[in-house]
Structure 1
Amino acid sequence: MALISSIAQSGLQAAQQRLGASAHNVANMNTPGFRRESVAQEAAPGNAGVATTGVQRAGTEGVALEREAVEQLSATYAFAANLQTIKVGNQMLGTLLDTTA
Protein backbone atom coordinates (compact mmCIF):
# COMPACT_ATOMS: atom_id res chain seq x y z
CA MET A 1 0.00 0.00 0.00
CA ALA A 2 2.85 2.37 0.76
CA LEU A 3 4.25 1.83 -2.74
CA ILE A 4 0.95 2.90 -4.32
CA SER A 5 0.82 6.12 -2.36
CA SER A 6 4.49 6.93 -3.00
CA ILE A 7 4.00 6.43 -6.74
CA ALA A 8 0.93 8.65 -6.69
CA GLN A 9 2.75 11.25 -4.60
CA SER A 10 5.58 11.44 -7.12
CA GLY A 11 2.94 11.92 -9.82
CA LEU A 12 1.40 14.77 -7.81
CA GLN A 13 4.78 16.47 -7.51
CA ALA A 14 5.47 16.06 -11.22
CA ALA A 15 2.07 17.52 -12.14
CA GLN A 16 2.69 20.44 -9.80
CA GLN A 17 6.04 21.16 -11.45
CA ARG A 18 4.45 21.01 -14.91
CA LEU A 19 1.69 23.39 -13.87
CA GLY A 20 4.19 25.78 -12.31
CA ALA A 21 6.39 25.83 -15.42
CA SER A 22 3.40 26.48 -17.64
CA ALA A 23 2.15 29.30 -15.42
CA HIS A 24 5.65 30.79 -15.49
CA ASN A 25 5.59 30.66 -19.30
CA VAL A 26 2.25 32.48 -19.50
CA ALA A 27 3.32 35.11 -16.98
CA ASN A 28 6.51 35.88 -18.91
CA MET A 29 5.36 35.42 -22.49
CA ASN A 30 5.76 39.12 -23.35
CA THR A 31 9.20 39.44 -21.77
CA PRO A 32 11.80 40.12 -24.47
CA GLY A 33 14.16 37.18 -24.97
CA PHE A 34 12.09 34.82 -22.78
CA ARG A 35 12.34 31.15 -23.69
CA ARG A 36 9.63 28.66 -22.86
CA GLU A 37 10.25 26.25 -19.96
CA SER A 38 9.13 22.64 -19.83
CA VAL A 39 9.46 19.82 -17.31
CA ALA A 40 10.96 16.55 -18.51
CA GLN A 41 9.57 13.39 -16.90
CA GLU A 42 10.63 9.78 -16.95
CA ALA A 43 9.78 6.61 -15.11
CA ALA A 44 11.67 6.34 -11.85
CA PRO A 45 13.90 3.30 -11.44
CA GLY A 46 12.32 0.24 -9.89
CA ASN A 47 8.68 1.24 -10.59
CA ALA A 48 8.91 3.92 -7.90
CA GLY A 49 6.81 6.47 -9.76
CA VAL A 50 7.75 9.48 -11.85
CA ALA A 51 11.06 11.30 -11.79
CA THR A 52 11.41 14.81 -13.16
CA THR A 53 14.74 15.76 -14.58
CA GLY A 54 14.12 19.43 -13.93
CA VAL A 55 12.93 22.44 -15.84
CA GLN A 56 14.42 22.85 -19.28
CA ARG A 57 14.48 25.98 -21.41
CA ALA A 58 13.63 25.64 -25.09
CA GLY A 59 16.03 27.12 -27.63
CA THR A 60 14.28 29.86 -29.61
CA GLU A 61 10.77 28.62 -29.01
CA GLY A 62 8.22 31.24 -28.01
CA VAL A 63 5.19 30.80 -25.80
CA ALA A 64 1.91 29.78 -27.43
CA LEU A 65 -1.14 30.24 -25.20
CA GLU A 66 -2.97 27.26 -26.73
CA ARG A 67 -0.03 24.97 -25.93
CA GLU A 68 0.12 26.29 -22.38
CA ALA A 69 -3.64 25.84 -21.93
CA VAL A 70 -3.34 22.20 -23.01
CA GLU A 71 -0.32 21.70 -20.73
CA GLN A 72 -2.19 23.17 -17.76
CA LEU A 73 -5.26 21.00 -18.40
CA SER A 74 -3.07 17.93 -18.78
CA ALA A 75 -1.25 18.68 -15.52
CA THR A 76 -4.59 19.27 -13.77
CA TYR A 77 -5.96 15.92 -14.97
CA ALA A 78 -2.74 14.14 -13.95
CA PHE A 79 -2.99 15.76 -10.52
CA ALA A 80 -6.63 14.65 -10.13
CA ALA A 81 -5.84 11.09 -11.27
CA ASN A 82 -2.97 10.73 -8.79
CA LEU A 83 -5.09 12.18 -6.00
CA GLN A 84 -7.82 9.64 -6.79
CA THR A 85 -5.20 6.88 -6.63
CA ILE A 86 -4.23 8.00 -3.11
CA LYS A 87 -7.89 8.12 -2.04
CA VAL A 88 -8.59 4.62 -3.36
CA GLY A 89 -5.42 3.29 -1.71
CA ASN A 90 -6.53 4.76 1.62
CA GLN A 91 -10.01 3.27 1.22
CA MET A 92 -8.51 -0.14 0.45
CA LEU A 93 -6.27 0.08 3.50
CA GLY A 94 -9.24 1.11 5.66
CA THR A 95 -11.30 -1.81 4.36
CA LEU A 96 -8.42 -4.21 5.00
CA LEU A 97 -8.03 -2.92 8.56
CA ASP A 98 -11.78 -3.18 9.16
CA THR A 99 -11.75 -6.75 7.90
CA THR A 100 -8.87 -7.87 10.11
CA ALA A 101 -10.08 -6.03 13.21
Structure 2
Amino acid sequence: MPSILPAAASGLQAAQLRLASSAHNVANMNTPGFHRQQVQQQAEPHPGGVRTQLARAVQPGVALEAEAVEQIAATYAFKANALVLRTAAEMAGALLDERA
Protein backbone atom coordinates (compact mmCIF):
# COMPACT_ATOMS: atom_id res chain seq x y z
CA MET A 1 0.00 0.00 0.00
CA PRO A 2 2.84 2.53 0.47
CA SER A 3 3.27 2.74 -3.32
CA ILE A 4 -0.27 4.12 -3.70
CA LEU A 5 0.68 7.56 -2.41
CA PRO A 6 3.57 8.29 -4.80
CA ALA A 7 1.54 6.93 -7.71
CA ALA A 8 -1.43 9.15 -6.92
CA ALA A 9 0.83 12.16 -6.32
CA SER A 10 2.53 11.71 -9.69
CA GLY A 11 -0.91 11.36 -11.27
CA LEU A 12 -1.94 14.69 -9.76
CA GLN A 13 1.21 16.34 -11.11
CA ALA A 14 0.63 14.82 -14.56
CA ALA A 15 -2.96 16.08 -14.65
CA GLN A 16 -1.83 19.53 -13.54
CA LEU A 17 0.78 19.63 -16.31
CA ARG A 18 -1.82 18.52 -18.87
CA LEU A 19 -4.16 21.33 -17.79
CA ALA A 20 -1.40 23.95 -17.83
CA SER A 21 -0.13 22.81 -21.21
CA SER A 22 -3.60 22.88 -22.73
CA ALA A 23 -4.23 26.37 -21.31
CA HIS A 24 -0.91 27.49 -22.83
CA ASN A 25 -2.01 26.08 -26.20
CA VAL A 26 -5.37 27.87 -26.08
CA ALA A 27 -3.75 31.15 -25.05
CA ASN A 28 -1.37 30.97 -28.01
CA MET A 29 -3.69 29.51 -30.64
CA ASN A 30 -3.72 32.74 -32.69
CA THR A 31 0.05 33.13 -32.61
CA PRO A 32 1.39 32.63 -36.14
CA GLY A 33 3.50 29.49 -36.47
CA PHE A 34 2.73 28.30 -32.92
CA HIS A 35 3.36 24.61 -32.27
CA ARG A 36 1.16 23.22 -29.51
CA GLN A 37 2.66 21.60 -26.44
CA GLN A 38 1.98 17.93 -25.89
CA VAL A 39 2.35 16.09 -22.61
CA GLN A 40 3.88 12.67 -22.99
CA GLN A 41 3.25 10.23 -20.16
CA GLN A 42 5.00 6.96 -19.39
CA ALA A 43 4.23 4.50 -16.61
CA GLU A 44 6.85 4.18 -13.88
CA PRO A 45 7.38 0.58 -12.77
CA HIS A 46 8.76 1.42 -9.32
CA PRO A 47 7.46 2.94 -7.06
CA GLY A 48 4.57 3.32 -9.49
CA GLY A 49 2.91 6.30 -11.03
CA VAL A 50 3.65 8.19 -14.19
CA ARG A 51 6.55 10.17 -15.66
CA THR A 52 5.66 13.19 -17.79
CA GLN A 53 7.51 15.43 -20.20
CA LEU A 54 6.57 18.22 -22.57
CA ALA A 55 7.10 18.00 -26.30
CA ARG A 56 6.26 20.25 -29.24
CA ALA A 57 3.89 19.08 -31.96
CA VAL A 58 5.40 18.69 -35.41
CA GLN A 59 2.63 20.58 -37.19
CA PRO A 60 1.76 24.17 -36.20
CA GLY A 61 -1.72 25.08 -35.04
CA VAL A 62 -4.15 24.35 -32.24
CA ALA A 63 -7.56 22.66 -32.45
CA LEU A 64 -9.75 24.28 -29.82
CA GLU A 65 -12.10 21.28 -29.59
CA ALA A 66 -9.17 18.92 -28.94
CA GLU A 67 -7.91 21.23 -26.19
CA ALA A 68 -11.37 21.28 -24.57
CA VAL A 69 -11.40 17.48 -24.52
CA GLU A 70 -7.86 17.43 -23.10
CA GLN A 71 -8.86 19.80 -20.31
CA ILE A 72 -11.91 17.71 -19.41
CA ALA A 73 -9.87 14.49 -19.40
CA ALA A 74 -7.13 16.07 -17.28
CA THR A 75 -9.75 17.34 -14.82
CA TYR A 76 -11.18 13.83 -14.43
CA ALA A 77 -7.67 12.41 -13.97
CA PHE A 78 -6.96 15.00 -11.29
CA LYS A 79 -10.20 14.19 -9.46
CA ALA A 80 -9.54 10.44 -9.65
CA ASN A 81 -6.05 10.77 -8.18
CA ALA A 82 -7.28 13.12 -5.45
CA LEU A 83 -9.93 10.53 -4.57
CA VAL A 84 -7.22 7.85 -4.31
CA LEU A 85 -5.29 10.04 -1.86
CA ARG A 86 -8.41 10.78 0.18
CA THR A 87 -9.37 7.10 0.31
CA ALA A 88 -5.85 6.12 1.40
CA ALA A 89 -5.98 8.72 4.19
CA GLU A 90 -9.40 7.48 5.31
CA MET A 91 -8.17 3.87 5.30
CA ALA A 92 -5.11 4.79 7.34
CA GLY A 93 -7.30 6.70 9.79
CA ALA A 94 -9.69 3.76 10.12
CA LEU A 95 -6.78 1.41 10.69
CA LEU A 96 -5.38 3.66 13.42
CA ASP A 97 -8.82 3.94 15.03
CA GLU A 98 -9.17 0.16 14.99
CA ARG A 99 -5.77 -0.38 16.59
CA ALA A 100 -6.25 2.30 19.27
**TM-score higher than 0.5:** yes
User: Aligned letter for 1:6?
Assistant: P
Q: 1:9-24 residue pairs with structure 2 within 5 A?
A: 9-24=9-24
Equivalenced residues, count: 100
Please tell me the residue identity of whatever aligns with 1:7.
Answer: A
Who is 2:90 aligned against? 91
Give the SS at the match of 2:41.
strand
Which consecutive segments of 4 or more residues in structure 1 shift more than 6 A? none
- The alignment yields a C-alpha RMSD, in angstroms, of 1.0
Gaps of 5+ in 1: none
Aligned to 1:26: 26
Q: Which residue of 2 aligns with 1:60?
A: 59
How much does 1:47 deviate?
4.9
> Unaligned 5+ residue runs, structure 2?
none
Which residue matches 2:49? 49
Task: Give the aligned partner of residue 100 of structure 1.
Answer: 99
Percent identity over the alignment is 58
Look up the match of 2:76: 77
Distance 1:32 1:47 in 2: 42
**TM-score normalised over the length of structure 2:** 0.95
Alpha-carbon offset, residue 62 of structure 1: 1.4
Q: Which amino acid aligns with 1:70?
A: V
Residue 2 of structure 1 deviates from its aligned partner by 3.1
TM-score using structure 1 length:
0.94
Is residue 3–residue 47 contact of structure 2 (8 Å, CA) maintained in 1?
A: no
Instruction: Assess if the C-alpha contact under 8 Å between 2:33 and 2:60 holds in 1.
Output: no
Matches of 2:23 and 2:37 in 1, distance apart?
Answer: 10
SS class of match (1:77): helix
Distance in 1 of aligned mates of 2:25 and 2:15: 15
